[in-house]
């Protein structure tokens, strides 16, 4: 009862203070000390006469509620060698970065008023449950991601001694490739440059997958790797077409991968083409989907004419075949529903 009385007294006092200082919306000022509050000083200098209550003004319209941030994942179950897209609405994530569940630094990019982040799952990841979390100011997000297992082929590859000497066993060749790789895999341009779904770079007629993505390889010198692309066999000189629109990020020779072309498709999506016999475009060119970029060959670490076709998302190679006929799903199927 005592408490109730105290509370009542406090409410009356607060109401009085509020009416004295001309507050709107019944807000109670933080400071009512005349010395520190210029707004209330004129009221506090003289004892106010209790006058007619002010004319009730029109009831103020409800203030717009601040919408809660909404975080959506395009998929919460992701196969090894695939990716999910995180979309954040009603929150400004510019400049926010975080470490993903595989230990990679990720940041967001803005598109049409929402923020996005590609979260790729590398082929060598272990299947299981992971937690994806980030914070921005007071906001904290945490969500579960399941990495689904997927079986991949294994392959033993005999490489001619001379080819080995010129590629895997040449320290300079390896160092040059590592330098090139680290310098390009994280490349990021803000705008999507792709135009609809991705297409087969050799066209349907020459599509013959010889080494699928994710194949665990052992070379005859003992080196091992997960093959991070799809190899497609075709006669030397077969035209290679841009899998989608974009900007030529690299076009040149590397000892390990021979004639090499990288296309930036925007937002961290890059296609990689190795072992070409010819390059028909130049670095910096913008290419439309389907235009000739080069020709199939067997340059660099290669055992026969084929195209090595890779696709990386956010610095991680994913299965390029999952992109054929589709495009990175920014709209989460929204457009299709409308």
Give counts: helices (H), strands (E), the chain.
5, 23
Beta carbon of residue 322, minimum distance to Zn ion (angstroms, whole number):
17
Give the range of 70-78, 97-105, 153-161, 223-231 binding Zn ion by CB under 5 A: 223-231
**87 versus 227: smaller Cβ distance to Zn ion:** 227
Residue at shortest CB range from Zn ion: 308
Using alpha carbons, select from 249, 326, 239 the residue that is nearest to residue 276.
239
299-332: b or e for each residue (b if 16 or more CB lie within 10 Å)?
bbbbeebbbbbbbbbbbbbbbbbebbeebbebbe
- SS3 of 142, please? strand
Give the range of 18-26, 87-95, 195-203, 228-236 binding Zn ion by CB under 5 A: 228-236
**231 versus 264: smaller Cβ distance to Zn ion:** 231
Beta carbon of residue 144, minimum distance to Zn ion (angstroms, whole number):
34
Beta carbon of residue 78, minimum distance to Zn ion (angstroms, whole number):
23
Sequence-separated (6 or more) residues with CB below 8 Å from residue 38: none
One character per residue 307-326, x = contact with Zn ion (rule: CB under 5 A):
-x------------------
**163 versus 189: smaller Cβ distance to Zn ion:** 163
**150 versus 217: smaller Cβ distance to Zn ion:** 217
CB 69 within 8 A of CB 89: yes
Beta carbon of residue 125, minimum distance to Zn ion (angstroms, whole number):
20
Beta carbon of residue 316, minimum distance to Zn ion (angstroms, whole number):
17
Strands of the sheet containing 109-111, edge to edge, are 70-73, 83-89, 114-120, 109-111
Q: Which of 79, 100, 231, 319 binds Zn ion (CB under 5 A)?
A: 231
CA 232, CA 243: separation in Å to the nearest integer? 14
First CA to last CA distance, the chain: 59
CA 203, CA 193: separation in Å to the nearest integer? 21
**85 versus 254: smaller Cβ distance to Zn ion:** 254
Beta carbon of residue 66, minimum distance to Zn ion (angstroms, whole number):
51
**133 versus 210: smaller Cβ distance to Zn ion:** 210
Beta carbon of residue 178, minimum distance to Zn ion (angstroms, whole number):
17
**71 versus 234: smaller Cβ distance to Zn ion:** 234
**258 versus 315: smaller Cβ distance to Zn ion:** 258
The secondary structure of 238-307 as a DSSP string is: -EEE-SSSEEEEEEEEETTTEEEEEEE-STTEEEEEEEESEE-S-TT-EE-TT-EEEE-B--SS-SSSEE
Residue 180 has, within 13 A of its CA and on its CB side, a CA count of 20
What residues from 279 to 308 belong to the interface with Zn ion (CB under 5 A)?
308
What residues from 107 to 166 belong to the interface with Zn ion (CB under 5 A)?
none
Residues in the chain: 338
Give the number of residues in contact with Zn ion, rule: CB under 5 A.
Answer: 3
Beta carbon of residue 314, minimum distance to Zn ion (angstroms, whole number):
21
Binding site for Zn ion (CB under 5 A): 229, 231, 308
């Amino acid at each position: 009862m005592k408490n109730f009385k105290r509370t009542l007294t406090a409410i009356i006092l607060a109401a009085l203070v509020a009416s004295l200082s001309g507050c709107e919306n019944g807000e109670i000022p933080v400071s009512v000390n005349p010395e520190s509050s210029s707004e209330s000083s004129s009221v506090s200098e003289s004892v106010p006469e209790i006058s007619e209550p002010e004319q009730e003004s029109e009831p103020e319209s409800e203030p717009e509620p601040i919408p809660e941030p909404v975080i959506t994942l395009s998929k919460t179950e992701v196969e090894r060698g695939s990716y999910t897209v995180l979309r954040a609405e009603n929150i400004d994530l510019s400049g926010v970065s975080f470490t993903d569940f595989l230990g990679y630094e990720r940041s967001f990019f803005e598109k049409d008023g929402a923020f996005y982040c590609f979260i790729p799952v590398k082929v060598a990841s272990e299947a299981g449950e992971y937690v994806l979390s980030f914070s921005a100011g007071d906001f904290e997000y945490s969500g579960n991601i399941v990495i689904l297992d997927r079986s991949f082929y294994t392959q033993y590859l005999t490489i001619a001694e001379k080819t080995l000497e010129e590629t895997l066993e040449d320290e300079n060749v390896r160092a040059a490739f590592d330098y090139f790789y680290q310098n390009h895999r994280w490349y990021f341009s803000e705008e999507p440059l792709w135009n609809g779904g991705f297409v087969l770079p050799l066209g349907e007629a020459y599509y013959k997958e010889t080494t699928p993505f994710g194949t665990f390889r052992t070379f005859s010198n003992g080196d091992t790797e997960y093959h991070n692309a799809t190899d497609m066999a075709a006669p030397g000189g077969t035209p290679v077409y841009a899998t989608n629109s974009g900007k030529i990020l690299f076009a040149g020779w590397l000892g390990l991968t021979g004639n090499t072309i990288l296309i930036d498709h925007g937002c961290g999506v890059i296609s990689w083409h190795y072992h070409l016999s010819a390059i028909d475009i130049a670095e910096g060119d913008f290419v439309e989907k389907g235009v000739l970029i080069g020709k199939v060959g067997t340059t660099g670490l290669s055992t026969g004419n084929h195209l090595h076709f890779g696709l990386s998302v956010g610095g991680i190679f994913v299965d390029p075949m999952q992109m054929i006929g589709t495009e990175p799903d920014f709209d989460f199927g929204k457009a299709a529903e409308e």
